[in-house]
Structure 1
Amino acid sequence: MRDVNADSQKVVPPPPPPSPPPATGTVLGRLAVPAGVLAAVAGAFAYVGAVDPNEPGHYPVCPLLRYTGVYCPGCGGLRSAHAFIHGDFLTALQDNAAAVVAYLGFAVLWTVWVVRAVRGRPLRVDVGPVHLWTFGALLLVFTVVRNLPFGGWLHP
């Protein structure tokens, strides 16, 4: 005679976790959001490329620079974008080097997003506290250096 309790005591391993399902819908449907983001960014760059920020009166002045004389990390960003659009990359770097790095970072991230969308996989950006603190520290160093006398080459 068989012992029923002996069979019920067998250890059955849990099933493996399911892999994330591929995105449903067509490729064009999965590309709609990245295309919309690209259209918004391209529209903003087109506007800045057409309306020169080097001419006074087109854009508001940075309030931090106006009231304290301190360059914020974004100071020169519009001039940098204008120069970048017109292919003057050295001027773009001088106007705001951090912004140029951000433009290139956006291009890389957007390309990865599109490739993953075509393959039916979601974009996963795992930004942990260490990454955020490092980014913040680099931005702080950039801001401090561009406001010191030896950092004049970083002034917009």
Structure 2
Amino acid sequence: MQPHHSETPTQPSGTLPLGQRVLRRLHRVPPVLWPLGFGGLVLAGATLLHFVDPNEPGHYPTCPWLMMTGTFCPGCGTMRAIALTTNGDILGAASMNPLLLLLGPYLLWGYARWVWTAVRPPATPPRPTPIWFLWALVVTITVYWVARNLPWFSFLAPGTPLFPGW
């Protein structure tokens, strides 16, 4: 009786492809470390923006969309808005990127929910985000993107005061 030969090459026992080894190691990381690590990176970035002013040229790269097209993307002004927020200037931050301040509470809520479910996993899987909410978010960002580049909505451009005279 001859041994069974497989057509696919087998690997020596005990070795796995690199991708599988990486996935196994990632699954060993405690789930709470992912949101805490992400929060630490965000905090480090906000601290950097607090101490290194994005209004001074040469410290940070220019928005690639703005460089290529000359128009503002939905994220233009976000770095300066975060820097102003860390200094307590909420109105100044709103003038840089009003959408960021409108979405800020939802982003914080989503992050808090992520941390909470990592610390105390629910007994049942969380409900997925409704598709209508995701579509509404895409439409809102797209309308904002177009509107902030139109002359009638120039108050949405970065640096334009939302409330002149305040």
**Same fold by TM (over 0.5)?**
yes
CA separation of 1:125 and 1:35: change in aligned 2, threshold 3 A = farther
User: Structure 2: which amino acid aligns with 1:73?
Assistant: P
CA separation of 1:52 and 1:125: change in aligned 2, threshold 3 A = farther
Q: What is the number of equivalent residue pairs in this alignment?
A: 128
Aligned to 2:148: 146
CA separation of 1:52 and 1:146: change in aligned 2, threshold 3 A = same
Query: Structure 2: 5+ residue runs without aligned partners?
Result: 1-29, 159-166
Alpha-carbon distance in structure 2 between the residues aligned to 1:43 and 1:102: 21
User: Structure 2: which amino acid aligns with 1:112?
Assistant: R
Moved more, 116-125 or 37-46: 116-125
Aligned ranges 1:31-50 → 2 under 5 Å: 31-50=32-51
1:38 Cα deviation from its structure 2 partner: 1.1
Asked if the contact 1:30–1:120 (Cα under 8 Å) also holds between the matched residues in 2, the reply is no
CA separation of 1:62 and 1:119: change in aligned 2, threshold 3 A = closer
User: Structure 1: which amino acid aligns with 2:41?
Assistant: A
The two structures have a TM-score, normalised by structure 1, of 0.71
1:150 Cα deviation from its structure 2 partner: 1.9
Aligned to 1:88: 89
The Cα offsets for residues 25-80 of structure 1, whole Å up to 9 and x where unpaired, read as xxxx5533222121111111111222111111111112322232211111111111
Aligned ranges 1:93-112 → 2 under 5 Å: 93-112=94-113
CA separation of 1:67 and 1:31: change in aligned 2, threshold 3 A = closer
Alpha-carbon distance in structure 2 between the residues aligned to 1:129 and 1:107: 20
The Cα offsets for residues 84-143 of structure 1, whole Å up to 9 and x where unpaired, read as 111111111110112223432221112222333343328736234433322111001101
Aligned to 2:68: 67
Alpha-carbon distance in structure 2 between the residues aligned to 1:43 and 1:92: 19
Aligned to 1:11: none
Aligned to 1:51: 52
The two structures have a TM-score, normalised by structure 2, of 0.67
- Report percent identity of matched pairs: 34
Aligned to 1:22: none
Asked if the contact 1:76–1:95 (Cα under 8 Å) also holds between the matched residues in 2, the reply is yes
